[in-house]
A and B are shown apart, each in its own frame.
Chain A
Amino acid sequence: DVKVTQSSRYLVKRTGEKVFLECVQDMDHENMFWYRQDPGLGLRLIYFSYDVKMKEKGDIPEGYSVSREKKERFSLILESASTNQTSMYLCASSFFQGARETQYFGPGTRLLVL
């Protein structure tokens, strides 16, 4: 059974703090993704990675960075958290970037920035 785990289910941080969100997958997938999900805006792609140390910007990369030092782990970093980054963050992984292989999602991290 494919498993994508995220380090925290709920997180509360203060404005200006540096925030790390960790994602780990156990299926040897090449591709990993970070999305945020907001009411009325749906799922929006922040960054994705198709290989170790590789990264591509998604639709809303501003204010975020990512790190992929190992194939199974993809980290999302908020360098200086702001209140407009309060959101649900979802990590996903797949063998291919598109649809030939399904994307498997983690349970999500609800981040509140005060």
Chain B
Amino acid sequence: QKEVEQDPGPLSVPEGAIVSLNCTYSNSAFQYFMWYRQYSRKGPELLMYTYSSGNKEDGRFTAQVDKSSKYISLFIRDSQPSDSATYLCAMSYSGNTPLVFGKGTRLSVIA
């Protein structure tokens, strides 16, 4: 079993839809959880960061962590064509270990 599982998609939604992106993981020692966004032919950029369980909101984006289920989610409200990108989840055990990335989900928001 891979440490971090993420459905690669592609996921195609109409503009204005609510998007749900998810990752599951196997190691309960993960404590730090991130979502990166990667536009085509660019490097990933950090979108959201969460420590341990709970929710975090930033504008149209909400990150959720459920450590009991080993499941993290990213919700995008009122999705826009500019949200079309690949979204990668990432996590780490502590502040001193490298990140473990999911394979990424490719999202297309259609105008």
Instruction: List A residues at the B interface (Cβ < 8 Å).
Output: 4, 33, 40-43, 45, 48, 58, 90, 92, 96-100, 102-108
CA separation between A82 and B91, bound complex, in Å?
A: 31
| A31 to B, closest residue via Cβ | B98
Q: Name A107's contact: one of B32, B42, B51, B96 (CB within 8 Å).
A: B42
Q: How far is the CB of B40 from chain A (nearest CB, A)?
A: 11
**Is there a chain A Cβ closer than 8 Å to B94's Cβ?**
yes
Which residue among A92, A96, A98, A104 has the maximum number of chain B CB atoms within 10 Å of its CB? A98
Cβ-defined contact, B41 with A108, below 8 A: yes
Per the 8 Å Cβ criterion, residues 75-109 of B in contact with A are: 88, 90-99, 101-104
Q: Nearest Cβ in chain A — how far from B38, in angstroms? A: 8
State the CA gap A104–B103 with chains docked (Å): 18
**Interface size class of chain B, counting residues whose CB lies under 8 Å from the partner chain:** 20 to 34
Could you tell me if B43 and A100 are in contact, using CB atoms closer than 8 angstroms? Answer: no
- Decide: B42 and A108 in contact? CB cutoff 8 A: yes
Knowing A40-B8, A42-B102 touch, does A107 contact B43 (C-beta < 8 A)?
Answer: yes
With beta carbons under 8 angstroms apart, the residue of A40, A43, A102, A106 that contacts B101 is A43
Asked whether, in the complex, the Cβ of B32 is within 8 Å of the Cβ of A98, the reply is: yes
> Which one of B44, B91, B93, B97 contacts A90 once the chains associate, using CB atoms below 8 Å?
B44
Other than the given A42-B6, A96-B96, 14 more pairs (CB < 8 A) read A42-B88, A43-B88, A92-B43, A97-B92, A98-B92, A98-B96, A98-B98, A98-B99, A99-B33, A99-B95, A102-B34, A102-B49, A103-B46, A108-B42
B57 adjacent to chain A (CB < 8 Å): no
CB atoms of A98 and B101 under 8 A apart: no
Q: Please state if A99 and B43 are interface contacts (CB–CB under 8 Å).
A: no
Complex CA distance for A48 and B41, rounded to whole angstroms: 23
A102→B95 CA distance, assembly (Å): 10
Task: Give A108 to B38 CA distance when docked, in angstroms.
Answer: 11
